[in-house]
Amino acid sequence: RLLKSGRGPKSRKLRSTRTDLTRSSKPSRSISRSLLVNLEESILKERFPPAGQIDGFTAEIGASGSYCPQHVTLPVNVSYFAISEHSAPLPFLGVISLEPLGKKGYSIPKAGTIQVTLFNPNKSVVKMFVVTYNFNDMPVNHMTFLRQRIFLVPVEEGAEGKSEASARERSPAPSRPKSLCYLMHLRFQSSKSGKIYLHSDIRLLFSRKSIEVDAGVHYDLKSFTEVPRNPKYSPRV
């Protein structure tokens, strides 16, 4: 059984960077070690070159809270990767540069909700990311980040003989691993006046192929959000 993820049309243009990692002058073992330490970070920080790029993706960015800034639509630079050590398809990396919005970035309320809607080259919605945040305690001239991960998690049905309400409750199935479907990485900074901005860029990971799941097993999409701890905020350089 397959769960479809957002994909562009088969006719979309792929721009190859003509990079063959197996022919790199660096030992493949170093690449493999980096990926094993944290594949997610390696892709997000572009620690190895992409196999190619896909044109035509866009994203609409909006926020709400004490006020609602105007939504903006920006191009998304989407890259794909091919690593010989990994037979499973790696996710696409989408980078939304906020430089067109000015030096400070995208102004947002100190607390509220951010929505980022990703569109493929056919203008169909790939994923709508929605995350809440609260940076009322951020000092001036500081920065932080927020990362949202969305997993496809297998769950077990409630045991027979329980009440109907209890039967509807499902807990994670420990024998089956969860699969990362989507990720959004946001960067925030405060100005001298204390205003909050999304700055630099927004980075997205999303599945490039349909996700294989076990037939007869129930799955839920579960979202997890994290911010830095100790310290939560860092002074701007």
Residue extents of the structural domains in the chain: 39-155+176-209+216-235
Q: How far apart are CA 152 and CA 142, in angstroms?
A: 34
Examine the pLDDT at 15 and tell me if it is beyond 70: no
100 against 16, higher pLDDT? 100
Helices of type H across the chain: 28-44, 164-168
Region 139-145 average pLDDT: 98
Tell me, what's the pLDDT at 102? 95
* pLDDT band, very low/low/confident/very high, at 39 (cuts 50, 70, 90): confident
Q: What is the pLDDT of residues 172-201, one digit of tens each?
A: 555 567 788 999 999 999 999 999 999 999
Question: Tokens at residue 196, please?
Answer: 């909050």
Q: How far apart are CA 96 and CA 205, in angstroms?
A: 12
Question: In this predicted structure, which of 17-21, 75-79, 111-115 has the lowest mean pLDDT?
Answer: 17-21
Region 87-115 average pLDDT: 93
* pLDDT band, very low/low/confident/very high, at 233 (cuts 50, 70, 90): very high
Question: In this predicted structure, which of 99-103, 136-140, 207-211 has the lowest mean pLDDT?
Answer: 207-211
228 upstream amide cis, omega within 30 of 0: no
Tell me, what's the pLDDT at 174? 55
Any bridge partners for residue 234, and if so which? 143
Nearest CA among 37, 33, 208, 235 for reference residue 126: 208
Tell me, what's the pLDDT at 20? 37
Tell me, what's the pLDDT at 149? 95
Q: How far apart are CA 4 and CA 141, in angstroms?
A: 43
